[in-house]
Structure 1
Amino acid sequence: MPAADDDGRPVPSADDRAARTPAPAPAKRGRSKLVLLGVAAFGALGIAYGAGLLLDHADVPNGTTVLGVDIGGTGKAEAMNKLDAVLGERARMPLVLEVEGEQKTLKPSVAGLSLDTENTVRGASGRDYNPVSVIGSLLGGARQAEPVFKVDEEKLTAALKDLTESSGGGPRDGMVKFAGGKAVGVPGKPHKQVDAGKGADMLEDAYRTQVATGRSEAVELPVALEQPSVDQKEIDRAIREFGEPAMSGLVTVRAGDRSIPFSPTGSLPKFLSMKPVNGKLVDTYDLKVLEELYGSTFDGVLITRGNGSRTPVTPQDVAGALREALRETDPAKRVGVIELDPR
């Protein structure tokens, strides 16, 4: 008979109690293994990261490329030489342009475009502490650095102006020339001109592509019809204020005891003209021709300059004296004096 308590209820045996007690849950061995694997992987990455830093002592980090050229693990000078060797020829290739159906070529140096290898390498140099880059360099991974280009805006604009096609013969802009003792106005003509703003952007893009790919494809530059910047009103003003006085008679240039006259029917028209500068006509002198005309007149005459040095008379000195004298109509005032000691 099973044992009973004081109330007569049966007392469970030891076997019955053991059967009713739930068994302990099995240990989660799988999760422990994952944790251990994660710790091990993290440790391995740390070791790899440290090894990458220790092994990469060069100016340019391992795995660094510029437009496909591997310059990683080198000093700055060697990296520049590598870029010049591979990209230098591409950077000097003439650009192929198309203006109004006519194909032309333009040297990058003339357009003020160049690959700046020095600043490119400078930007790619220095320690890279990014774990992805450092570990990737050990595994042969690449780190791409951006090339740096130089753009001389002034040269680029001038080059685009040189590419301009005129719509006809003769000058594109108005001017004043001197002939037969008279100032003669020459009206400008409408002309086709490359759009400098859009054209500059297109040339820059084309140059970058050419350096990157080594291929030179024709760039069609936009052209628009431009009106002359110097109109008839400006031509009339220039003749009235300068042209007519300039041709009113002989003009003389004097330096010390030396002097030489210039005639409106002889020598003046050979070197004197008026050309546009920012929409205004200004007197312009062909210094080479002027020097040939006065020859040895001022030989031995020295001018004391602002720095105290004494130097011979130059064509610029003669032109400067002429500029003031040509504006006068009184014969007594048509003498341009070169001061020998302007201090």
Structure 2
Amino acid sequence: MSDDTAILTPQFAPPPGGPGGNVSGDTLNSGIPVVPGGRNVPGDPMGTGPGGPGGPGGPGSAAPKPAAAAPRPAPKPAPAKKGRSKLVLLGVAVVCLLGVAYGAGLLMNHSDVPKGTTVLGVDIGGGTKEDGVEKLDAALAKRAATPLKLTVDGKETQLAPDKAGLSLDSQATVRAAAGSDYNPVSVIGSLFGGERTVEPVFPVDEEKLGVALQDLAGGSGTVRDGTIKFEPGKAVAVPGKAGKAIDVNKSMGSVRDAYRAQVETGSARAVELPVVTREPTVTQAELDRAMKEFAEPAMSGLITIRAGGKEIPFGPAKSLPQILSMKAVDGKLVDVYDKEAIDRLCAGVFDGVMITKGDGKKHQLSADDVAFAMKGALMGKTPAERTVTIDLDGNG
């Protein structure tokens, strides 16, 4: 048979050992080249065919890129909340209302003492300062003048506020309360009956209080200073003894607090004053001196006081024991004269007798003038020395 009629027979690939035998089968199979798997197809140098490196499913094929996402539309602005606008309007309304109320309060309160002002529960507002003082005194004056009840080592006693330098100063209190109060709370509150509380003023005379407590200490407690008693016809020495006495420094604070509480509450309760143990301030030596230098000579006989052609005797049996006493001052005993007893015993003998005093004017002869004359007469040893004539011209 000729080549034109040759039967196409399948050609097999050579064994892996390499080319050999049947060379024509390696290159042509009936004129068609055999393409081994994995080789490039002629005309496709990049191997893009199926199974090729660049073809679909090939090892070098790249995955298709995803399409770009479309941009999102801008969000629409949220509509304004109606509730927030209402709150703003409400706040503005409240502020305006408060402003109107504040202005009204200022316009309506023209008094010296603002309306609604109180002191210890007493309403003193809405009027002049004088009105405020009258209201305060009417309500609290009685409380302020009530004596304090005190207890010293179990013994009760009293202390008058005016003698102890204690008081409620109504005028100072009202002055402190007077004047416009621009505090918005107070101004607006006054429209609705609100109160404005003012603290009372309690001035204290520390020196006067100390003296009053010192005097109280002399008559309270159990400590006793030595003294001399004047009995009919004789003077008697009384030795002192140790005991408990008022602690003046600590008691001052207790008395101040008690007085304030009494005025504030209207209740006068007994206050226990602090005490300390003390020795008598007058020693036996001082007691002996006072007896020898004053008490015994004073009671040794009759004395006579003359003035303006009139005279009156004072004797140791009746008159002098009513007039004379002695008091401890800084550890010393000093003589004391009872002026009321002198007036009573003189019984008007020197009425109309005038004496010229330091001011150059004439004054009625008084118990003070008689007591001053008695000092010299009591130290006399003879009847002449124990008679004293008062110089009415102010030269004595």
TM-score exceeds 0.5 = yes
Which runs of 5 or more residues in structure 1 are unaligned? 1-15
Match of 1:275 among 299, 318, 327: 327
Tell me whether 1:136 sits opposite 2:194 in the alignment.
Answer: no
**AA partner of residue 371 (structure 2):** A
State the match for 2:228 in structure 1. Answer: 176
CA distance in 1, matches of 2:363, 2:145: 41
SS where residue 277 of structure 2 aligns?
Answer: strand
Name which of 237, 243, 249 aligns with 2:289: 237
Distance apart, 1:234 and its partner CA: 1.7
Aligned residues of 2:302 and 2:314 also touching (Cα < 8 A): yes
- Indicate whether 1:221 and 2:247 are aligned: no
Counting only pairs closer than 5 Å after superposition, residues 143-182 of structure 1 correspond to structure 2 as 143-151=196-204, 154=208, 158=212, 162=216, 165-167=220-222, 172-178=224-230
Quote the offset at 1:134 in angstroms: 1.7
Superposition deviation, residue 128 in structure 1: 0.7
Letter in 1 for 2:326: M
Query: Do the aligned residues in 2 keep the contact of 1:165 with 1:191 (CA within 8 Å)?
Result: no
* Secondary structure of 1:149 counterpart: coil
Which sections of structure 2, spanning at least 5 residues, go unmatched? Answer: 1-69
Q: Equivalents in 2 of 1:301, 1:187: separation in Å?
A: 42
Output the CA distance in 2 between the equivalents of 1:338 and 1:232.
Answer: 36
The TM-score with structure 2 as length reference comes to 0.64
Deviation at 1:156, TM superposition (A): 7.9
Q: 1:61 to 1:265 in 2, by over 3 A?
A: closer
Q: Once the 2 structures are TM-superposed, how far is the Cα of residue 341 of structure 1 from its aligned partner?
A: 0.9
Instruction: Report how many residues are paired.
Output: 323
Tell me how far 1:159 sits from its aligned partner. 6.7
**Which residue of the other structure, out of 359, 368, 371, is the alignment partner of 1:319?**
371
Q: Cα RMSD over matched residues? A: 4.1
Higher helix share: 1
Contact 2:325 2:336 in 1 (8 A): yes
**Cα gap change, 1:43 to 1:336, in 2 (>3 Å):** same
**Equivalent residue in structure 1 for 2:256, among 182, 200, 204:** 204
Of 297-306 and 48-57, the range deviating more from structure 2: 297-306
Does the CA contact (< 8 Å) of 2:173 and 2:200 recur in 1? yes
Q: CA deviation at 1:210?
A: 3.8
Code of the residue aligned with 2:171 in structure 1: it is E
Q: 2 CA distance for matches of 1:205 and 1:50?
A: 41
State the alpha-carbon separation in 1 of the partners of residues 228 and 81 from structure 2. 100
Supply the distance in 1 between the matched residues of 2:144 and 2:109 (Cα, whole angstroms): 30
- The CA distance in 2 between the partners of 1:342 and 1:266, in whole Å, is 31
Q: Counterpart of 2:307 in structure 1: which amino acid?
A: A
Which residue number in structure 2 is paired with residue 340 of structure 1? 392
- Report the Cα offset of residue 53 of structure 1: 0.8
Greater Rg by CA: 2
Q: In percent, how many aligned pairs have the same letter?
A: 54
The question of whether the paired residues in 2 share the 8 Å contact of 1:161 and 1:196 is answered with no
Higher relative contact order (CA 8 A, sep 6+): 1
In structure 1, distance between residues paired with 2:303 and 2:348: 18
1:187-219 residue CA offsets vs partner (Å, 9 max, x unmatched): 122343333333332233233334434455543
CA distance in 1, matches of 2:371, 2:261: 47
Preserved CA contact (<8 Å) 1:161 1:194: no
The structure 1 residue matched to 2:337, chosen from 285, 292, 303, is: 285
Contact kept, 8 Å, 1:110 with 1:159, in 2: the verdict is: no
Q: Please tell me whether the aligned partners of residues 155 and 220 of structure 2 are also in contact (alpha carbons under 8 angstroms).
A: no
Distance in 2 (alpha carbons) for counterparts of 1:304 and 1:73: 54
Correspondences of 1:1-343 after superposition (within 5 Å): 41-84=94-137, 86-87=139-140, 91=144, 97-101=150-154, 113-151=166-204, 154=208, 158=212, 162=216, 165-167=220-222, 172-178=224-230, 183-247=235-299, 251-255=303-307, 257-259=309-311, 262=314, 268-291=320-343, 298=350, 301-329=353-381, 333-343=385-395
CA distances 1:51-102 after superposition (whole Å, capped 9, x unpaired):
2211111222133222333333333344445445555565566655544446
Distance 1:274 1:184 in 2: 11
